[in-house]
Amino acid sequence: MKSLGLVGLGQFGQLAARHLKTHFDVVVTDSAADAQARASELGVRFSALEEVARCEIVVVAVPVVAMRAVFEGIAPHLQTGALVIDVGSVKMLPVQWMGELLPPHVNLVATHPLFGPQSARNGLAGLRFVVCPVRGDRHETVAAFGRSLGLTVTVTTAEEHDREMAYVQALTHLIGRSLVNIGIPDEQLKTPSYQHLLELCGLIGADTFELFTAIQTQNPYAAEVVTAFVEEARGLLEQVGHTRPKS
Amino acid sequence: MKSLGLVGLGQFGQLAARHLKTHFDVVVTDSAADAQARASELGVRFSALEEVARCEIVVVAVPVVAMRAVFEGIAPHLQTGALVIDVGSVKMLPVQWMGELLPPHVNLVATHPLFGPQSARNGLAGLRFVVCPVRGDRHETVAAFGRSLGLTVTVTTAEEHDREMAYVQALTHLIGRSLVNIGIPDEQLKTPSYQHLLELCGLIGADTFELFTAIQTQNPYAAEVVTAFVEEARGLLEQVGHTRPKS
């Protein structure tokens, strides 16, 4: 089995470790205090960043905000011909950073698994996995591996990914988080429309504010879309006379 | 067959006429220029408000904003023991107006069919029908008739209805209409969460602005819920640094 170093044991890193450990010789690292215990629970080996970075495949599964520092940290240790993959929920910024910070002798593939522990709780079949070629042709191997896990794989550019995700992610996470925060109840008299809102809350409710912030701020197209939605909603409320003094 | 007078041949009135004409001797009225042609297409008799108001059952299917005037118009013609039913999407205001304007010798039932031409395009089975007792005990007959059509019937008070509908209707229609107005695309990379938003748009997209205004302004609990949602969304955008000067 090829060696695979996984940087990051957050919610997604843990899910990844569970699915990757049967296909690769996995070694993980994470700076969290309980990371060694998590690795032990997952049945994967824990080591220092330096060793993880020397694997044939290095998967970076840290929040986008922490990714730049991880690329800088692994850069000196990467082996010639190694493959570096990120799994961030935006793609233009990680692609830019990988290109700038990682040495020319490594292959680069950017990915976005459009799922998490909630949506993958019944398995990976049919879940979407986006693969963006960055440097070299290893994106083909990554796409084929995704398909072998049952994932629906889309190969596209980082720009097209982020443009679509401004709607698919930034807007859904803004609406879902707002609904969760105001505490929408599971009413008896619900309609199919309301059921869609309740299910959106179920899918998004457990995501961290860190992920929310990343989705909203690290996609260059997000601000325009979410602001347009909120302005449209405010405009509609003004049209029907629902205005109140702003603090 | 009992005589049933239907006031209003809008989207819901037409749907009602189609389903009621096999159970009642239906006569309809509507002030729209093409109302007689609509009645003819539906295969129901058209007449003046006075005759419609003399039926054993009178169903008022006009927008809530027009309901007060219709109650005033039918009041002098209603027969002793007649049953007057409204189908407005809010309940506290119609119940108040019916009680004030309609003579004590008629029975009153307020209802809200939680469906329309879109959601009923594959039949009525399982769709929700809310029945609120107002005056007399004919709500039991109305509920039984709804169940005989396959509807899921809930008997409750106008207050409880409007309290729940502030979430179920006002919030879904605000979000759905805002999404339709900003034109959210059917992206290739969609997630289950985004699919919920697209389906919400499909369910709400064809509704009139008149209905939207009624839902937002004629439910005394709506303003607080929808304003809380928009304020929460604005607050979240502020927290992630998405603010822009207001015009």
Residue-range domains of chain B with CATH: 3-156 (3.40.50.720), 160-239 (no CATH)
* Contact between chains at A175 and B175 (C-beta distance less than 8 A): yes
CA B190 to chain centroid, in Å, comes to 32
**Chain B nearest C-alpha distance from A118 (Å):** 11
pLDDT tens across A177-207, in order? 999 999 999 988 888 899 999 999 998 888 8
Tokens found for residue B225? 């819920």
Assign A152 to helix, strand or coil: strand
What pLDDT is attached to residue B247? 43
- Helix, coil or strand: residue A30: coil
C-alpha–C-alpha distance, residues A115 and A126, integer Å:
10
Residues 6+ apart with CB under 8 A from A63: A10, A88, A210, A211, A214
Q: Which segments of chain B have a pLDDT < 70?
A: 244-247
> Chain A to chain B, count of Cβ pairs less than 8 Å apart?
183
Query: How high is the pLDDT of residue B85?
Result: 98
Cβ contacts of B12-21, under 8 Å, gap ≥ 24: B12/B61, B12/B87, B12/B113, B12/B116, B12/B117, B13/B61, B13/B62, B14/B38, B14/B42, B14/B117, B15/B116, B15/B117, B15/B120, B16/B59, B16/B61, B16/B87, B17/B42, B17/B44, B18/B42, B19/B124, B19/B149, B20/B59
Distance CA A199, CA A89 (A): 21
**Radius of gyration of chain A from Cα atoms?**
20
**ipTM of predicted assembly, 2 dp:** 0.77
Q: A47-63, pLDDT tens digit by residue? A: 999 999 999 999 999 99
Among the partner-chain residues B164, B223, B232, the one whose CB lies closest to the CB of A181 is B232
Q: What are the pLDDT digits (tens) for A98-125?
A: 999 999 999 999 999 999 898 899 999 9
- pLDDT for the residue numbered B244: 58
Taking the C-alpha atoms of residue B220 and residue B205, their distance in angstroms, rounded to an integer, is 24
pLDDT on residue A206: 84
Radius of gyration of chain B (CA): 20
CA distance A232 to chain B (A): 6
**CB contact at 8 A, A186 and A211:** no
Average pLDDT estimate for A215-228: 95
Q: Are B62 and B216 in contact (CB under 8 A)?
A: no
Q: Note the helical H segments in chain A.
A: 11-20, 35-42, 49-53, 64-74, 92-101, 139-148, 158-165, 172-182, 192-204, 209-217, 222-239
pLDDT in tens, A158-179: 999 999 999 999 999 999 999 9
- Cross-chain Cβ contact B189/A232 below 8 Å: no
Q: Which residues of A touch B178 (CB under 8 A)?
A: 229, 232-233, 236
Give the separation between CA A190 and CA B203, rounded to whole angstroms.
14
Which residue of A114, A128, A187 is in closest CB contact with B164? Answer: A187
For range A29-37, the mean pLDDT: 96
Beta pairing, strands A25-29 & B45-46:
unpaired
Using an 8 Å Cβ cutoff, are B175 and A175 in contact?
Answer: yes
**A123 three-state secondary structure:** coil
Report the pLDDT value the prediction gives residue A244, as an integer from 0 to 100. Answer: 58
Predicted local confidence at residue A247, as pLDDT: 44
Give the gap in angstroms from C-alpha A125 to the nearest C-alpha of chain B. 13
Q: A75 to chain B nearest CA, in Å?
A: 30
Which amino acid does the sequence have at A40? S
pLDDT in tens, A61-91: 999 989 999 999 999 999 999 999 999 989 9
Neighboring chain A residues of B154 at a CB cutoff of 8 Å: 188-189
